[in-house]
Structure 1
Amino acid sequence: MTTCRSPHDPNCTADLGAQYITAIPYYAEKHQSFYEELLSQGILKPLLSCMEGMAIKEGIHNYVAPRGISSIVKYYLGDSDVFYNRQVTHINLKEGKLEVCSKSGPSEMFDAVILTMPVPQILQLQGDLKSFLNESQKQTLEATRYSSRFALALFYEAGTQINVSWAAKYIVNNPCVRFISIDNKKRCSESPEVGPSLVVHTTVQFGAENEHKDKEDVEALILDQLHRILPGLPKSTSVKCHKWRYSQVIGSVSNSPGEMTLSIHPLLVCGGDSFTHSNFDGCTDSALAVLNVFKCHF
């Protein structure tokens, strides 16, 4: 759930990851309190803009985040102390506690740790982590599979017109582009004082074929295909290309109830969409499962 800003205008934003949230009837009921809270706070609102090519199914609700999809994360972290740009490298067991080491900043000691990064990144952690894993858990985690894809954001000057009838469109029969969104139009947050933004998502196949290339080279390929699809597209003020190495889970951790507990004393738990499925409801299910583990041990 990433929202980026134009380097020329911080009010011009684009969602590089999730574009909207879909709630099927089962989860709309199961997670009703979460949806009601986010809607009441203005974090989410119903998706009303034209999404060409999107399948419409009875009973399904679609939502957008008017202030960008990252506003959901910011809302839930609002009362927490958050330290950014600390890449965890080691987890060690010391005197009955967990020592967490990062590339920047001092190591810290914790009574409990939750790991929610993609499973391959969990398995890359150094220190004592592997000693917490039995062979069955290790094999289960190693079997997890992900898709990769690229996202491209284009930012424009205020007053720029992008002359299409839709707010977002699913593209078929293109070797590169799968989805295009006029992001501010999709979120119904258009303003004459703020330039529009456009987002492109590539196909899973294109992501797999190009995941080891430099972003600059991939950016040129995507732009070429985009201009073939929208030949009259105006010139942007800036472009941002992002590679989602672990975009969506296509083979989640099997037989997992939304989490995997690696240690009880001290408590070390893995969670996230790797243990459910890659959408808002999958993340919520995992969060509730991890919470239940904490309730049982604290």
Structure 2
Amino acid sequence: MSSSPPRVLVVGAGLTGSLFACLLRRKLKDRKVHIVVWDKARGAGGRMSTFRPPDPSSHSADLGAQYISTTREYAHSHHSFYSELLAAGVLRPLDCPVEGLRQKDGGVDYVAPLGMSGVVKHFLQQSGAEVLFERQASGLYRRRASWEVRSKQGGGGQFDAVLLTIPVPQILQLEGDLQDVMSSEQKDVLCGVSYSSRFALALFFPPGADVGVPWAIRYYNNYDDGDKANVICYAAVEPRKHATEADASRGPSLVVHTGAPFGLRHVECDIEEVQPIILQELQRLLPSLPQPISIKCHKWRYSQVTSAAAGCSGHMTLSERPLLVCAGDAFTHSNFDGCLVSALSMLDAFADVM
């Protein structure tokens, strides 16, 4: 038997992957384990990504999740995690003007002053994992007591256990022995997972620019203008969203998200086709916007889970020996607490094989 530490691969440097890597490290404490994280992007965050414009004179913008909402029950059961993030300055209570938000019973909302990707980066740093960006898994091949995982960019490695946190459709596209280890029932469950799609558009303005709106966050829920219905459902201004004092050396940024119906209709379109449509509608809604110095448009093909994996309690084990598990919000629900429930649900299974 090899004396080298067991190797665990986490595919996806989003919230579930970073939380799990951190929690596994903490659970194993002094036991040696080599945790590796792959992500196809150039940085951590997944759907909690923060885009920093090429021109540093503008504020960054959250392109995915905008803030964290928790229920009263989760605020209690996950208190230690929220306390940790608040103490580290990664989160702070949402305290800014919000227009159009439907009333909620109880619960607390939090923003990330340094961007939502800071939440993911916090747990990733705590994990001590070896993180490899621009590394996309393309196939998994069973090699007796381990998995050989190959990368689309070339190369790969062998691992004693693998966790897949990427969207379910991407899991089902992986080559190799994955299809052979799954049961027909598991395939049916995974094929039943569905996601909404949407586009995010960020506009970056020069220092001193006035975006001409009184709010920090606004939801557009109540307008209907034919084909333009639900083009834009949400808008936020940085740094107002974080209720921090404006840095005079950096200009504001404005982020808008499209509605799910618009995303569904245009999901197969190129960004170059969709961006002018969003900008035209934004001009109609906010005619006094100044000229931006740069624009970033992003397509979220897999935005939020609309139908989760049936009968799963946070994850699905595809193979026990060698261990192969898939997890994430597709097995719970799309928010911070859902990802945390998923990460917690796998700890014992992975710790037992280390």
Whole-angstrom CA distance in 1 between matches of 2:280 and 2:58: 27
Inter-partner Cα distance in structure 2 for 1:10 and 1:290: 43
Equivalent of 1:282 in 329, 335, 338:
338
Q: Secondary structure at the match of 1:222?
A: helix
* Aligned pairs, number: 298
Match of 1:249 in 2: 305
Distance 1:58 1:244 in 2: 29
The question of whether the paired residues in 1 share the 8 Å contact of 2:329 and 2:339 is answered with yes
> What secondary structure is seen at the aligned counterpart in 2 of 1:150?
strand
**1:187 CA drift (Å):** 1.3
2:240 to 169, 177, 185: 185
TM-score, normalised to structure 2, is: 0.82
Task: Please state whether the residue corresponding to 1:92 is helix, strand or coil.
Answer: strand
Match of 1:33 among 70, 74, 80: 80
Q: CA deviation at 1:105?
A: 3.9
Give the equivalent residue in structure 2 for 1:229. Answer: 285
> Hey, what does 1:168 align to over in structure 2?
217
CA contact (8 A) 1:264 1:297 kept: no
Q: Is the 8 A contact 1:115 1:271 kept in 2?
A: yes
* Rounded Cα–Cα distance in structure 2 between residues aligned with 1:146 and 1:58: 26
Q: Is the 8 A contact 2:198 2:303 kept in 1?
A: yes
Give the counterpart letter for 1:25 in structure 2. Answer: R
Task: Give the aligned partner of residue 197 of structure 1.
Answer: 253
Task: Give the structure 2 partner of residue 49 of structure 1.
Answer: 96
Name the amino acid aligned to 1:166: W
| Identity percentage of aligned residues | 47
Q: Secondary structure at the match of 1:177?
A: coil
Q: Mean alpha-carbon deviation: is it higher for 217-226 or for 91-100?
A: 91-100
Shift, 1:11, TM fit: 6.2
| AA at the equivalent of 2:74 | Y
Alignment deviations for residues 118-162 of structure 1 (CA, whole Å, 9 cap, x no partner): 100000000001111000000000000100000001111111111
What SS class does the counterpart of residue 77 from structure 1 fall into? Answer: helix
> For 1:267, which of 312, 315, 323 is the aligned residue?
323
Structure 2 unaligned runs (5+)?
Answer: 1-47
Matches within 5 A, 1:1-298: 1-9=48-56, 12-78=59-125, 79-172=128-221, 173-174=223-224, 175=229, 176-189=231-244, 190-298=246-354
> SS where residue 6 of structure 1 aligns?
coil
- Structure-1 separation of matches of 2:198 and 2:105: 29
Q: Distance in 2 between matches of 1:218 and 1:197?
A: 20
**Counterpart code for 2:263:** G
**Contact residue 91 and residue 98 of structure 1 kept, 8 A:** yes
Within 2, Cα distance between the matches of 1:44 and 1:118? 26
SS of 1:240's equivalent in the other structure is strand
Higher RCO, Cα 8 Å, sep 6+: 2
- Give the SS at the match of 1:151: strand
CA distance in 2, matches of 1:297, 1:112: 8
Cα pair 2:58 2:252 within 8 Å, conserved: no
